[in-house]
Amino acid sequence: MSVADDPLSTADDPLSTGPDLSSSVRRRRLRFVAGQLLFVLATLFVISLVMFFAVNLGQSPRDVARQALGHGASIQALNAYAHAHGLDAPVIVRYGRWLGDFVQGNWGVSAVTGTAVRPSVVPELGRTFALAAITMLIALPISLWLGVMMARRYGRRADLSVNVALVVLSAMPEFVVGIVVLLIFSVWLGLLPPNSTALVFGDLSQKIQSFILPVLTLVLVSIPYLTRVTRVAAREALLAPYARAATLRGVSRRSTTWNHAMRNAAVPIANAVALNFIYLLGGVIVVENLFGFPGAGQALVQAIGNGDVITVEAIGLVMGAAFVLVSVLTDTLVVYFNPRLRAGR
Amino acid sequence: MATHAISTPVRARRRAGVWRSMLQTVEGRVGLCLGLVVIAVVVIGPYVAPHDPNALGTGTALAGPSSAHPLGTDQLGRDVLSRVLSGGRTVLLAPLAATVLAFLIGGMSGMLAAYRGGPLDSGVSRLFDLFIAVPSLLIVLVVITRVGTSWPAIVIVVALVFSPRAGRIVRGATQAVVGNDYVSAARLRGESARWVVARELLPNAAPAIIANFCLYLTYSIIFVATLSFLGLGAQPPSSDWGLMVASSRQFISVNPWATLVPALGIGSMAVSFTLLGDALIRQVSRRIQVGGGEV
């Protein structure tokens, strides 16, 4: 049977993903993606500007040179260093050079430790991204499940009491949640190590253990927001005519919820996931410092304490860029593949 | 239904209604009680503290709870109870100042944008969105390093970070009322923009703005406490709760109370304002649903 005489063929269905996507739809999609791209670029630009100027403004070339050469260096030596490293160029030029070098992988040499920034920072960044990714992989399914459960019982006692619990949890700073988790699992129960330093030198089981408490803390602080958004989105979708129609057609409750309703609730939830990545960026900084987790967040705060300008710039720019990119990407992908955008909103 | 003709007493009563119905929810009552307790500790605490919060060696270092030191002592032998009682001020006041400033800066631009509409509105909104997408803790950590950890600097930096968020909220709240007839009527009467904002927009958008103010006060409390925890807010020997948590974290297995109590202090302060804000928001949105565009 050819596609043309199949009565159930999706060829004319506006929801199908086929080569017959109308050109206006394609244009709308393209415009959306272009807009998102522009937004990412603007955000990255702001981050790089703040990183560069916060660190460089009010600091004369000689200050930087003195950091590298020590306090005993002569004025001539300082001037020569500043000139050799292009520090006496106008700020705009230096910003351009710094960004150009950075993009090409030349992250500079720390004036404090005297070592190249990139080799020391990359493994730390890797651990931090692993921490954030594991957190999301655990927090999202739990939040989806909990949110749908609450939406089904909307307004009833179970829903309301869980909701209050989530409100309370959402108001807790990450480090307060972390302290409570630490006290329970490490100090009182003695199950897990009180800090995650074993991640660098320990064996596999110690490495896994090092992740548990930081991940648990981040999951706990991520769940309230994700769950509350899911709850509202799921309730709206479950009340929609198509969900009722599915139920009336005899589709099982599970299929109605997950295949029909939740597909349409995906956009606001993806939006929440995207925003949560930005929150997570702050969360990992706090949690890494609380648990001594050897990641980029801890390295960042240490570099700030040491006045290690170049390291601060490098970690700040990469962390900021990565989390913003993942965040916008999540948003874009889900909206792009959502049928509603194609059907015209 | 000429809302603009409603006399002041009626309006005042209606606004009092929001507060009263908020207190009928469990959330609202718990939030208010908790908030009052925390504020009492913050305000009265310093005067009833049994020891000088910074006095060294009032007892054995890192001792557990005893009758002389109900919460034990910290690593320098300072009395934890006295430090908790006197360390709440900065935790509350710095975020309060920052939030007020954020709502002033962001609120004025947001309200003006919503009132004028057109390209100004879309431009300002785009700008708000852009700055909201920038990871705030990262930016603040870096900026604070440069401008220093004095309280005025922290308040201003945190206010600047929160002002686009406050601006978006105020813009939204204003837009909900700017389309009402009494606003057009005032405009047609030839009232000045300042009059319309002060007499029509602000009073009618106020419940929504106040509710969000409570929530943002929570975020601000979390934010400033986090700065102190990371060593970029309050500085030693301050007994600021965030700093207390950071400095006694190392000794958590010896005297857990020195870490847990200030941490829970910050937590309950934040929770109380969140509960209040949440209860208020629910009342405000219910009112909008029930009363049409009348709020």
pLDDT computed for residue A233 by the predictor:
86
Closest chain B residue to A306, measured at CA: B145
Mean pLDDT of A282-290: 91
Which of B129, B134, B162 is the best substitution to test chain A (most A C-beta atoms within 10 A)? B134
A18: pLDDT strictly greater than 60: no
Q: What angle do CA A259, A260, A264 make, to 5 degrees?
A: 110
Among A68-72, A295-299, B255-259, which is the least confidently predicted range? A68-72
Which of B38, B223, B230 is the best substitution to test chain A (most A C-beta atoms within 10 A)? B230
Give the C-alpha distances (Å, rounded to integers) separating B127 from A43, A324, B117, B132, B168: 10, 16, 15, 9, 10
- Name the phi and psi angles at B73, rounded to 5: -125, 165
Contact B275 A168 (CB under 8 A): yes
Name the band, by pLDDT with cuts 50, 70 and 90, for residue A5. Answer: very low
pLDDT computed for residue A49 by the predictor:
86
Q: Which of B129, B139, B146 sits opposite A57 (nearest CB)?
A: B146
Name the band, by pLDDT with cuts 50, 70 and 90, for residue A16. Answer: very low
Please name the residues between 27 and 86 in chain A that touch chain B, using a CB distance below 8 Å. 39, 42-43, 46-47, 50-51, 54-55, 57-58
Contact B143 A50 (CB under 8 A): yes
Centroid of chain to Cα A93: 31
Give the C-alpha distances (Å, rounded to integers) separating A17 from A10, A32, A86, A264, B190: 9, 17, 54, 16, 55
Contact A173 B278 (CB under 8 A): no
Nearest Cα to B103, choosing from B169, B154, B198?
A: B169
Name the band, by pLDDT with cuts 50, 70 and 90, for residue A223. Answer: very high
Higher pLDDT, residue A316 or B11: A316
Name the band, by pLDDT with cuts 50, 70 and 90, for residue B40. Answer: very high
pLDDT computed for residue A140 by the predictor:
93
How many whole angstroms separate alpha carbon A186 and alpha carbon A209? 11
A320 Cβ neighbours under 8 A, 6+ residues apart: A44, A47, A51, A281, B134, B135, B138, B139
pLDDT computed for residue B102 by the predictor:
94
Mean pLDDT of B184-212: 83
Please name the residues between 76 and 135 in chain A that touch chain B, using a CB distance below 8 Å. none
Contact A304 B263 (CB under 8 A): no
B177 Cβ neighbours under 8 A, 6+ residues apart: B183, B200, B201, B204, B205, B293, B295
Mean pLDDT of A312-337: 83
DSSP state of A194: S
Mean pLDDT of B5-20: 56
Distance from CA of B245 to the nearest CA of A (A): 9
pLDDT computed for residue B142 by the predictor:
83
How many whole angstroms separate alpha carbon A270 and alpha carbon A230? 10
Distance from CA of A169 to the nearest CA of B (A): 8
A268 preceded by cis ω (within 30°)? no
Name the band, by pLDDT with cuts 50, 70 and 90, for residue B288. Answer: low
B119: pLDDT strictly greater than 60: yes
pLDDT computed for residue A113 by the predictor:
80
pLDDT computed for residue B11 by the predictor:
53
Which of B142, B160, B214 is the best substitution to test chain A (most A C-beta atoms within 10 A)? B142
Among A13-22, A148-157, A281-290, which is the least confidently predicted range? A13-22
Chain B residues inside the 8 Å CB shell of A176: 245, 263-264, 266-267
A342: pLDDT strictly greater than 60: no
Name the band, by pLDDT with cuts 50, 70 and 90, for residue A329. Answer: confident
Among A12-16, A333-337, B216-220, which is the least confidently predicted range? A12-16
B104 Cβ neighbours under 8 A, 6+ residues apart: none
What letter represents residue A218's amino acid?
L
ipTM for this prediction: 0.82
pLDDT computed for residue A76 by the predictor:
83
| Interface size between A and B, measured as CB pairs under 8 A | 140
Q: Which of A58, A176, A320 sits opposite B138 (nearest CB)?
A: A320
pLDDT computed for residue A58 by the predictor:
62
Reported as a single tens digit per residue, the pLDDT across A122-135 is 999 999 999 999 99
The token pair that represents A40 in the structure block: 């990412």
What letter represents residue B225's amino acid?
A
Reported as a single tens digit per residue, the pLDDT across A142-156 is 999 999 899 888 888
A202: pLDDT strictly greater than 50: yes
The token pair that represents A270 in the structure block: 């993806």
List helix spans (H) across A183-261.
198-201, 204-239, 241-248, 253-255
CB distance from B153 to chain A under 8 Å?
no
Distance from CA of B133 to the nearest CA of A (A): 7
Q: Which of A57, A186, A286 sits opposite B229 (nearest CB)?
A: A286
pLDDT computed for residue B210 by the predictor:
84
Higher pLDDT, residue A72 or A329: A329
Contact B142 A57 (CB under 8 A): no
Give the C-alpha distances (Å, rounded to integers) separating A236 from A93, A153, B283: 52, 13, 20
Reported as a single tens digit per residue, the pLDDT across A57-77 is 666 777 777 777 777 778 888
Contact B267 A316 (CB under 8 A): no
B54: pLDDT strictly greater than 90: no
B126: pLDDT strictly greater than 90: no
- Name the phi and psi angles at B216, rounded to 5: -75, -25
Centroid of chain to Cα B139: 20
pLDDT computed for residue B95 by the predictor:
94
The token pair that represents B63 in the structure block: 């001792």
Burial of B187 (0-12, 13-18, 19+ CB in 10 A): middle
Give the C-alpha distances (Å, rounded to integers) separating A184 from A154, A162, A177, A189, B113: 32, 22, 11, 6, 49
Contact B270 A171 (CB under 8 A): yes
Say how many C-beta atoms besides its own lie within 10 A of residue B131's C-beta: 20
Contact call for residues B148 and B155 (beta carbons, < 8 A): no
The token pair that represents A33 in the structure block: 């993606």
Nearest Cα to A97, choosing from A332, A273, A313?
A: A313
Closest chain B residue to A309, measured at CA: B142
B125: pLDDT strictly greater than 90: no
DSSP state of A109: B
First to last CA, chain B: 13
- Name the phi and psi angles at A334, rounded to 5: -65, -40
How many whole angstroms separate alpha carbon B165 and alpha carbon B98? 13
Closest chain B residue to A291, measured at CA: B249
What letter represents residue B58's amino acid?
T
Contact B135 A173 (CB under 8 A): no
Distance from CA of A171 to the nearest CA of B (A): 5
pLDDT computed for residue A20 by the predictor:
52
pLDDT computed for residue B14 by the predictor:
55
pLDDT computed for residue B12 by the predictor:
52
Please name the residues between 148 and 177 in chain A that touch chain B, using a CB distance below 8 Å. 164, 167-168, 170-176
